[in-house]
Amino acid sequence: MKVPILLPNIFNHPFTYESSHLNLKIGDYVIVPFGKSKITGVVWDQFEKNTNKKYVIKKVVEKLKIPSLKKNTIEFLNWFSEYNMVPKGMALKLLLLSSSAVEKFPKKKYELFKLEIKKNNIKLSKEQEISLKKMNIHNEKFRVHVLQGTTGSGKTIVYFEALKQLIKKGFQVLIMLPEIGLTGQFEKKFIEFFGFRPAVWHSGISKKNKEIIWSGISNGEIKVVIGARSSLFLPFKKLGLIIVDEEHDQSFKQDEGVIYNARDMAISRASFENIPVNLITAVPSIETYDNIKKGKYSFSKIEKRYQNASLPNYEIINLNNTKLETQSWLSKEIIQKVNLHLEKNDQILFFLNRRGFSPYVLCKKCLESYSCPNCSINLVYHKHKQNLLCHYCGHKAKLDRDCSKQGKCDFVFSGPGVERIFEEVKKNFPEKKSIIFSSDTMNKKNSSEILEKIINNEIKILIGTQLISKGFHFPNLNCIVVIDIDLSSQGHDLRGAEKNLQLYHQLSGRAGRTGKPSTVYFQTYNLNTKMISDITNKNPDIFLNKELEIRKLNDLPPFQRFIALIITGKKENFLEQEAIKFKNFIMNSVEGKVLGPVSAPIFRIKRKFRARLLIRGKKSLKVQNSLTKIISKYKFPSGIKLTVDVDPINFN
Domains defined along the chain, listed by start: 2-95 (3.40.1440.60), 107-307 (3.40.50.300), 309-354+416-547 (3.40.50.300), 561-646 (3.30.70.600)
Task: Quote the CA–CA distance of 148 and 95 in Å, as a whole number.
Answer: 31
Mean pLDDT, range 245-256, rounded to an integer:
92
Q: pLDDT tens, 148-188? A: 988 778 899 999 999 988 999 999 999 999 988 778 888 98
**Percentage of the chain lying above the pLDDT 70 cut:** 95
Report the chain's mean pLDDT, rounded to a whole number: 89
Of 21-35, 293-307, 459-473, the least confident: 459-473
Torsion angle (degrees, nearest 10) of CA 643, 645, 650, 651: 50
Candidate from 363-377, 561-575, 581-595 with smallest mean pLDDT: 363-377
Per-residue burial over 632-642, b if 16 or more Cβ lie within 10 Å, else e, is eeeeeeeebee
* Mean pLDDT of the 50-70 span: 86
Better-predicted residue by pLDDT, 611 or 450: 611
Q: Band the pLDDT of 44: cuts 50, 70, 90.
A: very high
Say how far apart CA 63 and CA 55 lie, in whole Å: 23
The 3-class secondary structure across 392-421, one letter per residue, is CCCCEECCCCECCCCCECCEEEECCCHHHH
Residue type (1 letter), 525: Y
pLDDT tens-digit profile of 340-380?
Answer: 999 999 999 999 888 888 888 888 888 888 889 999 989 99
pTM equals 0.91
- pLDDT(26) > 60: yes
**Quick one: pLDDT band at residue 493, thresholds 50, 70, 90?**
low
Question: What pLDDT is stored for residue 626 in this prediction?
Answer: 94
Q: Say whether the peptide bond before residue 558 is cis (omega within 30 degrees of 0).
A: yes
Q: Give kind and range of the element (H or E) at residue 263.
A: helix 262-273
- Mean pLDDT of the 46-57 span: 74
Half-sphere exposure for 135 (CA within 13 Å, toward CB): 31
Lowest mean pLDDT, pick from 33-47, 85-99, 445-459, 543-557: 445-459
Burial class (CB in 10 A: 0-12, 13-18, 19+), 274: exposed
DSSP 86: -
Q: Is the pLDDT of residue 491 over 60?
A: no
Q: Is the pLDDT of residue 411 over 50?
A: yes
Dihedral of alpha carbons 65, 66, 71, 77, sign? negative
Which tens digit of pLDDT belongs to each residue from 297-317? 999 999 887 666 677 888 888
**Percent of the chain whose pLDDT exceeds 90:** 58
pLDDT value, residue 487: 47
Per-residue pLDDT, 53: 66
CA distance 236 to 272: 13
Measured at the alpha carbon of residue 314, what is the angle toward residues 149 and 250, in degrees to the nearest 5?
A: 45
Average pLDDT over residues 39-53: 83
Q: Is the pLDDT of residue 489 over 50?
A: no
Burial of 328 (C-beta count, 10 Å sphere; 0-12/13-18/19+): middle
How confident is the model at residue 490, as a pLDDT?
Answer: 47
CB atoms within 10 A of CB 477: 26
Report d(CA 609, CA 117) in Å as an integer.
55
Question: How do residues 501-550 score in pLDDT, each as one tens digit?
Answer: 888 878 877 777 677 888 889 888 776 667 677 767 778 888 899 999 99
Mean pLDDT over 250-265 rounds to 94
The neighbouring-strand residues paired with 301 are 148
CB < 8 Å & 24+ apart, contacts of 543-551: 543/497, 543/501, 544/283, 544/284, 544/286, 544/289, 544/498, 544/501, 547/286, 547/497, 547/498, 548/286, 548/289, 548/290, 548/293, 551/286
Cα torsion angle, 577, 580, 586, 590, sign: positive
